Amino acid sequence: MKNSKGYKENPKKPAKPRKKKIVYFILLVPSVIAAVYFLRLLIDVNTPECDDKNKQDLNRASCSPNFQERKNAFLQRYGDIYGYNGTIEQLRRNQLPQLKGQTYVDFTGSGLYQKSQLEGMKNDLETNLYGNTHSINPSAHKSDLVISEMRRKVLSWFNADPNKYTLIFTSGTTGGLKIVGETFPWSKNSEYVYSRANHNSVLGIREYALDKGAKFKCIDMKELDDVFSNEQQQLQRDEQIKKKEQNSQNAITVEKNIHLI
């Protein structure tokens, strides 16, 4: 359209409905709720678990009266044998401050470092100079002495004669079991017996046994007494008739390695 002066004039567009504002409002509400929830979490993290710091327990639920009643009943019944003579909660507060109300259940994969361990390592590393044990210098010699002393202490703890036993430090359980499987003198007469409830890497040793022609057997703990009894009888018979030497291996779990703290 042209006005009186001859210029084109754009017609007025009709007002659009306020859909965008409604959409923005709908999107904003969850964001506000999430922000409020996050702030509450921050407040909870920085808030003491209980009013009395000397009575802080394992998690925030421990502050409830119902929990305290059940805990007192538990301690009355099992207090004499609970948690390292009742010191576990004090140990948790003083040595494991990083837990901060959490319950850690992955000791099988990674044990927690304690505060005193970190402080001891820090002081030791600040005081002593350790070098590569494969080098020839004072710092390397110092490292070798420390490792040898640690090896001696571990063998002594298990009452293991250093003239009969060798201690090898590995990266972990898997690395240690791999060495056992690779270096064990398997033969066609060997048998690998392991309990059903066992470390996953223990099962992997089967492959080393089978590769050398050996047999394997998986047993339940209920069968353990019978297996050992039969093996003892077999060993006695072998000794009597002087059969060819054969090496077999047993992998039995003596304690489930699951710890909570």
Structure tokens at 204: 């992997």
Q: Which residue has the higher pLDDT, 104 or 25?
A: 104
pLDDT at 233 over 70: no
Output the pLDDT for position 88. Answer: 86
Is the Cβ–Cβ distance between 192 and 248 less than 8 Å?
yes
* Mean local confidence (pLDDT), 243-252: 76
Phi-psi region of 118 (alpha: psi -120 to 50; beta: other; left: phi over 0): alpha
Residue 21 to residue 29: CA distance in whole angstroms: 12
49 vs 180: which has the higher pLDDT: 180
**pLDDT the model gives residue 163:** 93
For 190, 191, 215, 229, 245, the CA distances from 226, given in Å and listed in that order, are 19, 16, 18, 5, 23
Chain center to CA of 124: 26
Residues 178-226 have pLDDT tens digits of: 999 999 999 998 999 888 878 788 888 999 999 999 999 888 877 777 7
pLDDT of residue 201: 84
Each residue's pLDDT tens digit, 76-97: 888 888 888 778 888 888 999 9
Checking if the pLDDT of 174 tops 90, the result is no
Q: Is the pLDDT of residue 232 over 70?
A: no
Give the model confidence (pLDDT) of 109-166 as tens digits. Answer: 788 999 999 999 999 999 999 999 899 999 999 999 999 999 999 999 999 999 999 9
210/199 Cα distance (integer angstroms): 19
* Sequential DSSP letters for 150-211: HHHHHHHHTT--TTT------SSHHHHHHHHHHHS---TT-EEEEESS--HHHHHHHHHHHH
Residue 10 tokens, joined: 């754009």
CB 160 within 8 A of CB 138: no
**Residue range 166-177: mean pLDDT, rounded:** 88
Question: In this prediction, what percent of the chain has a pLDDT beyond 90?
Answer: 32
Please give the mean pLDDT across all residues of the chain. Answer: 76
* Residue of higher predicted confidence among 241 and 88: 88
pTM of the model: 0.53
Nearest to 227 by CA among 192, 189, 186: 192
